[in-house]
Amino acid sequence: MRQRVMVDRAVVDGLFPSDLPEPAYWEEQYPARVLPEGAKVTRFGPSPTGFVHIGGIYTAMIDRDVATDSQGVYLVRVEDTDQAREVEGALEQFDRAFAYFRISSDEDRRQGSYGPYVQSQREQIYLTFVRHLLRQGKAYLCFATKDELAEITARQQAAKVPTGYYGKYALWRNADPADVQAKLDEGAPYVVRFRAPDDADGQRTSFVDAIRGRLEHEANRNDAVILKSSDQSPRLPTYHFAHAVDDHLMRVNLVIRGDEWISSVPLHQQLFAALEFEPITYAHVAPLMKQIPGGKRKLSKRKDPEAGVDFYIGAGYPADAVLYYLRGLANGRLAEMPLADALATPIDLSQCGVAGPLVDLVKLEDISADYIATLSGQQVFDAVRVWATEYDADLVPVLDNEKELALRAIAVERDGVENPRKDLRKWSDFRAAYGFFFTELFVPVDGPTDERLVPLGVAPEITTAFAQDLVAGYEHRDDPQEWFDQIRSLAGKHGFAPNAKEYKKDPDAYAGSIREASQLVRVAITGATRSPDLHATAQALGAPEVLRRLEALIGK
């Protein structure tokens, strides 16, 4: 191993602003938190490089639970060091997602004394600690070009050795200070790389994961970039370095994150040690999965609409139903509890599994339907209206103009029954389930030949005659049986069999059965062959509207 050659401190200091504070200054600015013993300080670090993944809500939910249950602090820190990939509007999407699912933070970019809570606003802090490592020879300047790095990778692949910037492949690791100065004099751009410990090659390292227990991995040998190219502004670090500095200064003591970061722990351990920071505890959660033919895979931003939080908000899945489902995925015991109890019971890290739980939309919709069935008609109305304001603007004036009708419609087969109707799984189902109640949304049948009547197989002239008599003598009776008896009586008069059994015995002798006669009325009133209880629907609509719709059966 060649002896380490360090660049002169004066050269190092000349690369940074002259008024850059020392590490001690930042330690004073971010003092140790005064919290109860055992309190956890957790953080969620969304990156504004795309839409919010439902897995982010899942992890943030766990972060908040663990912090709150331990009387600690849960903070949100925007990790935007990868500014080239930043997506416009991403921060607003974060806010929308957290607000919808009520995952409030104790500290974020609007509140808290350990900020800024946006990494791109913490440039000075990072530069202080990069300079600190350079002064100690724990980091170095690297002028390797893209072509040189590509050539190194090609050589490593040909030699069938791990790719990376390490050992003999690390061109500037032990460069002569004179060569470094020459590059600086010519204005060549450079990055700053962390100098992995000399004894890291071939070594093993271990750590205790708060979910998975003791894990062992190969020690990091790669001289990772910790500060991006000198020709960029602002001068930002990579995630690996930024998270180490920020978690230390913000006094985070438990990082809950996806298991894709397990392989980075050896590097993070080295960074914490080099910076002389207290080691941090990690808890790596299993990713949310999707069932596919022959197995399962991670829920993908690119492939699966349900991976995005806006899918759930846009469709109008009630937040409580989604949270209840996600909590059950995190801790199976919560899935066995009533919803209110499960929402109030903290998630326990020790009960989080190491296998990725499956996201099953069918199961979620069942949970959502059960939940909505427990709500009052007013609660359903209010929730649908709030959702429609954003996602179905044309529905809003309909609801506002016909609020009492809407409440009557929602009450059909819900109020005062043991097993309430569960035709709403999400707020976007409202049009399909209840739209026919409203004249603005309902399309009456177009006479006896309307295509919705064709499957019933009733001759148009019989439909017309039946409808004429029904309209002429219609009585809006309160008693369901009495109301239906008038349909049954007219059905017999117009040649419909009293039941399906009689009709099947001699179909040519009848116009259809009582079922077909009833369906003529159902389609006329609701526009479909399947609907809530027909008498209750008629009562909700009122006699004038029922008659108007029945008259449409007659045709011109």
> In this structure, what DSSP letter does residue 329 have?
H
Distance set, CA 497 to CA 31, 104, 117, 490, 513 (Å): 86, 63, 74, 11, 4
Q: How far is CA 177 from CA 7, 9, 13, 146, 197, in A?
A: 5, 11, 14, 22, 20
Asked whether residue 91 carries a pLDDT value surpassing 90, the answer given is no
* Residue among 259, 144, 121 at smallest CA distance from 193: 144
Percent of the chain with pLDDT over 90: 89
Q: Write out pLDDT tens, residues 127-154.
A: 999 999 999 999 999 999 999 999 999 9
Is it the case that residue 1 has pLDDT exceeding 60?
Answer: no
Distance CA 132, CA 138 (A): 9
Rounded average pLDDT over 90-103: 89
- What residue has token string 């009557």? 408
Residue 272, pLDDT above cutoff 90: yes
* Cα–Cα separations (whole angstroms), residue 354 to 26, 211, 288, 349, 359: 37, 8, 11, 11, 15
The two beta strands, 204-209 and 213-218, are antiparallel
* pLDDT at site 2: 46
Amino acid identity for residue 469 in this structure: D
- Please choose, from the candidates 309, 413, 423, the residue with its C-alpha nearest in 3D space to the C-alpha of residue 365: 423
Q: pLDDT tens digits for 353-389?
A: 999 999 999 999 999 999 999 999 999 999 999 999 9
Closest Cα partner for 428 from 382, 403, 392, 379? 392
Task: Please tell me the pTM assigned to this model.
Answer: 0.90
DSSP assigned state of 107: B
Per-residue pLDDT reduced to its tens digit, 27-43: 999 999 999 999 999 99
Residue 3 pLDDT > 70, yes or no? Answer: no
Helix (H) or strand (E) holding 321: helix 319-330
Residue 389: Cβ within 10 Å count: 12
**How many angstroms separate the CA atoms of 354 and 352, rounded?**
7
Task: Return the pLDDT at 476.
Answer: 95
Say yes or no to pLDDT of 74 above 60.
Answer: yes
Phi, psi of 6 (to 5 degrees): -105, 145
Contacts of 493 (CB under 8 A, 6+ apart): 469
Question: What is the 8-class DSSP label of residue 388?
Answer: H
